[in-house]
Amino acid sequence: MGRAKLPRKSTNIDMTAMCDVAFLLLSFFILTTKFKPSEAIEVKTPNSVSSKVAPSENFVQVILDKDGKVFIAMDKADKKELIANALNTTQNLGLDVNAFKNAEFFGAPLGSMASFLKLAPEAKKGSLLPGIPVKDSANNELVTWMRVIKEAYTGEKEPAYLLKGDNFAKYPAFKAIITAFKKNDILKFQMITNPEGAPVGTDLWKKGQAGEKSEE
């Protein structure tokens, strides 16, 4: 007598618990993700294959936007205080030293700097500001800025000088920045770029495969 064949039944899996876990994970990542805030000065940096990381401490950064406007940012509040006092003494600007120390960046002619420091945060956007005048070779105010900045570090380790330029900025403004550096004997600075991988097969790629780091 043959064996009775049992009917085959498809396996039934309850997915309810898995869906709950998926939605919990999705909610967790949405609630904990920190979105990058919009930058006060929008700059699209050029690409490069350098792997050298820009310092995040003890730096002075010169920013050049696509319209050729120049801005300065730095991290040390005590140096900002020295710079504000030096500008008040040499340029008679009447700057609010405390407001100068708390400013994230500077982007106005020296004569308008006192008014710049009083602006509301929403008004301190690169597109709304005139920037530091550099286009007139006879009145390149960045020369004065770099002089007082360098004097503020006298007797101490110099800061890392960084240049963050927009890929669409015109050459004359870039040249004016380099001129201001040279006139103050600042001959070493680092360009801020958007890193990308070295082309496969190039010498730099081969060095990277061997574990060597490239430098700017």
Nearest to 170 by CA among 67, 49, 48: 67
Structure tokens at 55: 């310092």
> Residue 123: which domain range?
59-195
Cα(103)–Cα(121) distance, integer angstroms: 10
Local confidence band at 1 (pLDDT 50, 70, 90 cut-offs): low
Task: List pLDDT tens digits, range 113-172.
Answer: 999 999 998 999 988 999 999 987 788 999 999 999 999 999 999 999 999 999 999 999
Instruction: Tell whether 186 is covered by a domain.
Output: yes
| CB-count exposure of residue 209 (10 Å: 0-12, 13-18, 19+) | exposed
165 strand-pairing partners: 64
Give the total number of structural domains in the chain.
Answer: 1
Higher pLDDT, 86 or 50: 86
Name the maximum alpha-carbon separation found in the chain.
Answer: 114
Cα(159)–Cα(65) distance, integer angstroms: 22
Whether residue 216 contacts residue 191, with contact meaning beta carbons closer than 8 Å, is answered with: yes
Nearest to 149 by CA among 96, 90, 193: 90
Instruction: Tell whether 184 is covered by a domain.
Output: yes
- Sign of the CA dihedral with 195 first, then 198, 204, and 206 last: positive
Task: List pLDDT tens digits, range 64-88.
Answer: 999 999 999 999 999 999 999 999 9
Cα(70)–Cα(91) distance, integer angstroms: 20
Instruction: Tell whether 100 is covered by a domain.
Output: yes
Instruction: Tell whether 63 is covered by a domain.
Output: yes
